[in-house]
Amino acid sequence: MKPFFYEFLQRIRAKSAVVFTILLTVLLIALVYTSYSSISSSVINQPSNIMTGALFNHNGTYYFDTYVFNSSTGKPVTNIPINFTLYNSDTGGLSNYQYETNSLGYSNFTSSNISNPTYCTFEANFAQNNRNSEFSEKPGGLIRRAISATPYGQSCVMVWNICKPSPIAPPSILIVSLNATGSPGGNLMIYYNYSCNTTGYKPINKSDILGAVYKNFSVVTFSPKISDQYDYTDVLFEENGKQISEFATFSAISSPPGNLESAFNFEYPIVAFIMGILGISLAYFSYNKDRISGAYQELIVRPNTRVGLMTSRFLSVSFLLLVSSSLIGLSTYIIPILLFSFYMPFSFIMYIIFSSFVLSESMAAISFIIGSKEKSAAAVIAIPLVIFILIVLFVPAILPDILSKLGIFPGTENYNLITLIVSLFDPASSFSVIGSPLFRPIMSFTSLYLVGSALWMAVVYSISWVTIPYIGNYFLSKTTD
């Protein structure tokens, strides 16, 4: 085995490296988890409107139903405009309809002109009637629910599961709107306490459902029963011993409430920022510790080259950060599923992994150059990394814009080179570089934000680059003989 690979393997196999990676990963996951819990808790404690809806196909006529309730009081939300949007896959066209909820919080319409509806959204617009004060789930006065409109038998049921966001939060709720009688808009509403931990995998206890049904809603007209042999994805409802419907849930795990999305957007940059600082620290210590102590001499007299030694150290640091970033990304994907019963879009995971990794590696490369006297060798590492960033991030991001200017590709909004440059150093926006089709940036930041963001990153990382080596040198001078 060549010394380069040998050193790389030695580094990543070292007990300290394994312990470090585990600690780092656990620490950051704990940070994210704690923040999720606290933020989620505060979110769930606020009144939040719940909207549920159904798309029902009866003899070629499609019936759209929706209810909007206040989740705290259980009372219907009246006179709220509901925007129904339907996608017809045969024509590729979108149809939009608007109807207000009535005194039952109910809004509906029918259509016979849609040959193959495959996607439908129900959107309650609180802003339109200046009703934002009643709404706290998401800024902007809109809540939107979307379903796939694939009929299941003669029913199409939408399930919204607003799960318990944290162990300390109030019980979660599940609302099922069921068109079971063949009569569109039939009043079947089920509300019950439900532990998200069992979502999708554990049969629902009948007692849980019955207890909750009468407690919160008066509109329930059936006493449902759920067969124990079926899991949650195949729920059987009966009325007086007669099966009234069997349906598959379309979404056993819901998307997070809007405020939680904001929480994620807040958390991930912190993770990426910490990873960036760690990138500087690890890169600095992985090489300079030995250089300053003199132990480096013992390595360079072995069959190592300077470039090889630095590269193997750099890559081992990169590898550990990549592993940690990946674990954090995957864990923050899994944790919400296990604990909060909603999942983040996979792009968010990519966001964590990618922004954390790229940022930390960028920082590490610069740290190598600044911290190392072997500048030429450090450049050998940094230059390919810069080229990598340019090729992997810049080019795909810039190319669509160039093409759009040439009239070959549709243009993008609010996009320029500055946003891209900033996005590379600002984890909050770096997602935009990779998060859109063909890596097109979809940023909508103001120029002020960009300037502030750029300044912030410049200040923070400049301080890091100065202070970490300074502290490192002091530390090393005390600990090495």
Point out which residues bind another protein (CB under 8 A): 1, 3, 6-7, 10, 16, 290, 293-295, 297-305, 479-481
Angle between helices 417-425 and 427-434 (to 10 degrees): 120
Taking the complex as a whole, the smallest distance from the CB of residue 8 to another protein amounts, in Å, to 11
Q: CB-wise, 230 or 474, nearer to another protein? A: 474
Q: Cα–Cα–Cα angle for 162, 166, 172, nearest 5°?
A: 30
Q: CB-wise, 59 or 479, nearer to another protein? A: 479
Q: CB-wise, 296 or 314, nearer to another protein? A: 296
Taking the complex as a whole, the smallest distance from the CB of residue 1 to another protein amounts, in Å, to 6
Q: CB-wise, 16 or 240, nearer to another protein? A: 16
Instruction: Measure the CA–CA gap between 9 and 13, rounded to whole angstroms.
Output: 6
Instruction: Measure the CA–CA gap between 461 and 427, rounded to whole angstroms.
Output: 13
Taking the complex as a whole, the smallest distance from the CB of residue 172 to another protein amounts, in Å, to 49
Instruction: Measure the CA–CA gap between 151 and 174, rounded to whole angstroms.
Output: 21
Q: CB-wise, 301 or 448, nearer to another protein? A: 301
Taking the complex as a whole, the smallest distance from the CB of residue 18 to another protein amounts, in Å, to 14
Q: CB-wise, 107 or 316, nearer to another protein? A: 316
Write the CA distances from 16 to 11, 21, 242, 299, integer angstroms.
9, 8, 64, 19
Taking the complex as a whole, the smallest distance from the CB of residue 296 to another protein amounts, in Å, to 9
Angle between helices 306-335 and 258-293 (to 10 degrees): 160
What per-residue string of b and e applies to 105-119 under the rule 16 or more CB within 10 Å gives b? bbbbeebeebeebeb
Taking the complex as a whole, the smallest distance from the CB of residue 281 to another protein amounts, in Å, to 17
Q: CB-wise, 7 or 65, nearer to another protein? A: 7
Reference 325, options 30, 37, 28, 36; nearest CA is 28
What tokens appear for 385 in the block? 């990394």
Taking the complex as a whole, the smallest distance from the CB of residue 11 to another protein amounts, in Å, to 11
Q: Dihedral, CA atoms, 205, 206, 212, 213, nearest 10 degrees?
A: 150
